[in-house]
Amino acid sequence: MTPHSQPYDLLIIGGGINGAGIAADAAGRGLKTILCEQGDLASATSSSSSKLIHGGLRYLEQYEFRLVHESLAEREVLLRKAPHIIKPLRFCLPHERHLRPAWMLRVGLFLYDHLSKRVTLPASKSILFNTNSPLVNNITKGFEYSDAWVEDARLVVLNAMDAHNRGATILPRTRCIEAKRQGDLWQVTLQDQISKEVTTISSRALVNAAGPWVNRVFDKALHEAAPNNIRQIRGSHIIVPRIHDQPQAYILQNTDGRIVFVIPFEHDFSLIGTTDVEHKTSLDHISISDDEKQYLITVVNKYFQQKIDKADIITSYSGVRPLLDDDADNPQAITRDYTLELDHSNNQPPLLSIYGGKITTYRKLAEAAVNKLSPFFNEEGKTITQSWTADTPLPGGDFDSKELLSQKLTSEYPWLPDSLNQRLVTNYGTLCYKILGNAKSIQDLGPLIGSDLYEKEVGYLFNNEWAQTAEDILWRRSKLGLRFSKNEIRSLEQLFNTLNS
């Protein structure tokens, strides 16, 4: 870690979607910004989501109109901003008369279609399930509506890259262990989690975007009482071999009032989730319980002809939602909206703490966070520019259509296998040129490590996207972990040993 003599404007604790989004927004508005993340970028909640950019049809039942309105509008903004990693997705909602009446679903979908302006996403409609339906025979009617799908961990990394390109310092694997006010500045102690080296950084303002750890930062680093209580609500997903061929996702109603998504995943798989259970143990060990697995399997088997059991589970993941405690009895009823807590009592250097939030609303949250802090910088003679993120693509998102980009790659790199062409376009957009460069044949991409991952791509991820371990690549920069054998994982680990030495 290099010493930083001049104070930063903003130090952000947490490299999930909220921290990375704030870093990008702030750096783009001219603030000298630094972000520390104790693990890999997106190593916590922001890679454990259902990966939907959605208004949240279910939140209408909780009267969360502000959140739904903002989220619906963000779908179109984010589809433009990151067309490589975000795509439209249609959802089928089977109608079960005894769960929610058809009139209620129609009203909900009408609101969903009209609460915010849709530009590209088609409207909802009633549907009939015919003999080709993957659902059990007694389900004949339903509805279809639009939302969007995102590669959540890549959204975090692309925001961190955007921040970095605009001058921010990004420090993964660096924990904030202490932060105290001294005069006009924060003095923040950071520890490199690999070398254990400790550095102190000064900053004019501090952002606590530690997600589920937000109150732990208050307790252990700030040594002060947190302004809000949070409820830690775990949500888990299972991944099984694909259980239906349609491109749509399914949203299944359960008898407990909850819903479960079945989403096409990485071509050959189905992603099934999520659950809502109070997480009472350590945040260092967040994993699915047997009951959660059974819960998801039972819901799916009630609806789908193709039955699944625990033996079909290829892998699973879990995350903890850090939800603001609003005294709701039931975990699913707790608000999913976000709150920004600003503390600058007695004209002390400001601390902004982020509570709650969705991947979908990260950009608006970041905009609101920097707006809230900008008066402090304006007072100090800096002029904070207007928000800019709505119309600027994320790195690699500067292209018109994936089809055209893919055709361009085919003509420029005719030897590139189709599946690799598709994966590079979807993962990297125009950043794929940094991997392909002036390669003239597949051999120019270096040795094959496993699946369709060549050494050149690993080098790119190591040098440009902060990947430092096999897991960073297999589960966050990509989902190739689904396709790698144990030997291939070992080869990738060995390559990292060489790169890191």
- Measured CA distances, 367 to 17, 28, 35, 129, 470 (Å): 13, 11, 16, 43, 33
Nearest alpha-carbon partner for 445 in 420, 472, 412: 420
Q: In angstroms, rounded to a whole number, what is the distance separating the alpha carbons of residues 341 and 200?
A: 25
- The DSSP secondary-structure symbol of 372 reads H
Contact 458, 472 (CB under 8 A): no
Nearest alpha-carbon partner for 264 in 425, 52, 81, 43: 52
User: Residue 15: CB partners within 8 Å, gap ≥ 6?
Assistant: 35, 36, 37, 39, 40, 41, 42, 43, 156, 160, 170, 172
Q: How far is the CB of 249 from ligand FAD (least distance, A)?
A: 11
Nearest alpha-carbon partner for 395 in 119, 28, 42, 31: 28
Q: How far is the CB of 417 from ligand FAD (least distance, A)?
A: 31
Interacting residue ranges for ligand FAD, rule: CB under 6 A = 13-19, 36-39, 43-46, 48-52, 54, 175-176, 209-213, 217, 221, 235, 274, 319-321, 354, 357-360
Q: How far is the CB of 85 from ligand FAD (least distance, A)?
A: 14
When the beta carbons of 46 and 253 are compared against ligand FAD, the nearer one is 46
Q: What are phi and psi of 300, to 5 degrees?
A: -60, -45
Q: How far is the CB of 94 from ligand FAD (least distance, A)?
A: 20
Q: In angstroms, rounded to a whole number, what is the distance separating the alpha carbons of residues 222 and 110?
A: 47
- The DSSP secondary-structure symbol of 304 reads B
Q: How far is the CB of 463 from ligand FAD (least distance, A)?
A: 22
When the beta carbons of 38 and 387 are compared against ligand FAD, the nearer one is 38
Q: How far is the CB of 136 from ligand FAD (least distance, A)?
A: 26
When the beta carbons of 79 and 449 are compared against ligand FAD, the nearer one is 79
When the beta carbons of 251 and 436 are compared against ligand FAD, the nearer one is 251
When the beta carbons of 15 and 429 are compared against ligand FAD, the nearer one is 15
Residue 485 Cα to chain centre, angstroms: 26
With residue 471 as reference, give the H or E element that holds it. helix 470-471
When the beta carbons of 204 and 476 are compared against ligand FAD, the nearer one is 476
Q: How far is the CB of 332 from ligand FAD (least distance, A)?
A: 12
Q: In angstroms, rounded to a whole number, what is the distance separating the alpha carbons of residues 392 and 462?
A: 25
Side-chain half-sphere of 164: how many Cα atoms within 13 Å?
A: 16
Q: How far is the CB of 481 from ligand FAD (least distance, A)?
A: 18
When the beta carbons of 357 and 395 are compared against ligand FAD, the nearer one is 357
Residue closest to ligand FAD when measured from CB atoms: 16
When the beta carbons of 48 and 133 are compared against ligand FAD, the nearer one is 48
